Amino acid sequence: MRCSLASLLVAGMAVAGCGDDGQSTPRGTDGSTGPGSTTADATSSSSTTAADSTGTTTSSSTAAGSSSSETGVAPTGSTGNVIVELDRVTDGLAALYRFNAGGGTVIQDVSGVGDPLNLSLTSASSVVWNANSLTVTATVRMTQAVTPEKIVDACTGSEELSAEVWVASEVDTLANAVIMTLSTAEDGRAFTLGQNGAAWDFRLNTDIDSLDGLPTIEVPGDVTSMSHVVVTRNAAGDVEFFVDGVSAATETRAGDFSMWPAASIFTLSAEVTNGFPFRGEFGLAAVYCRALTPTEVLQNFEAGF
């Protein structure tokens, strides 16, 4: 189960999604969530519902692109035992982190790709574990003290990248706060996804830009609400910023990834030096060494966390 009530009900009934507050948001049978909602084109997805002999109902959804199914159970009070299959894109996935362990100091890489790139908390007292998320209350890093070769090798080989998070900031005044980074120091990085005041921002190092990934791409938003933030970059240099499944900005970053620092460290919630810390809630983090399509970004958004 992703978000607090990410559940699907049988065909013809409502579908519950994830609202900005992390609670379930009723969806109509046409997939709408009310004014301002965005839904996938009817030709890109399909759903099926079936009941087995025990009365358990299985609902599945598929969309364009490769995906895997993750199973959850509907919340107490639902009619029957409704099994939910949440489809996330797996093609090109390099690392995936969920924050549903409920405790401990290790964030497991559950991508199933290569050797796990598990991350360790540098301060257990600086976080609060929730049912399906982790809240950072003081400066802390989630990191591993070795170069993440599976990310570096795959992304420099493809010249493509998708950085994805479900996050909510504690405040909208944090300056240059780091949410996710692959870097060596505060002025040498491969890429960084972060928050700058009331905006999400992204830096990317190519061989024709600065080692610090400048200029920064910024997208204003409600950073204190739980948001699905994704930045993609394809081999042609096209960069696209998505917030909650909707394209928010496009830009061109030509060049290649040959200037990515060789000793980069993958870190969540702060720079590798502890600088520019982020405070807020993490629901999910993922890295792909492929540029997700808009349909695939929407697919991951609708899967929730």
Is the pTM above the cut of 0.85?
Answer: no
**Residues counted in the chain:** 305
Query: Which of the pair, 215 or 1, is modelled with greater confidence?
Result: 215
pLDDT for 255? 93
Tell me the mean pLDDT in the region 230-257: 96
Instruction: Give 228's contacts (C-beta < 8 A, 6+ positions apart).
Output: 164, 165, 166, 242, 243, 244, 245, 300, 301
Tell me the mean pLDDT in the region 66-92: 48
Tell me the mean pLDDT in the region 263-291: 95
Domain ranges (residues) in the chain: 15-89, 93-303
Query: Which of the pair, 70 or 36, is modelled with greater confidence?
Result: 70
3-state secondary structure 19-56: CCCCCEEEECCCCCCCCCCCCCCHHHEEEEEEECCCCC
Beta-sheet pairing, 82-89 with 57-63: parallel
Instruction: Give 239's contacts (C-beta < 8 A, 6+ positions apart).
Output: 202, 204, 217, 231, 232, 233, 250, 251, 252, 253
pLDDT for 284? 98
pLDDT (tens digit per residue) in 92-107 = 999 999 999 999 999 9
* Second CATH level (architecture) for the domain 93-303: Sandwich (2.60)
Whether 291 has a pLDDT exceeding 50, the answer reads yes
pLDDT (tens digit per residue) in 133-166 = 999 999 999 999 788 999 999 999 999 999 999 9
- Tokens 């919340």 found at: 75
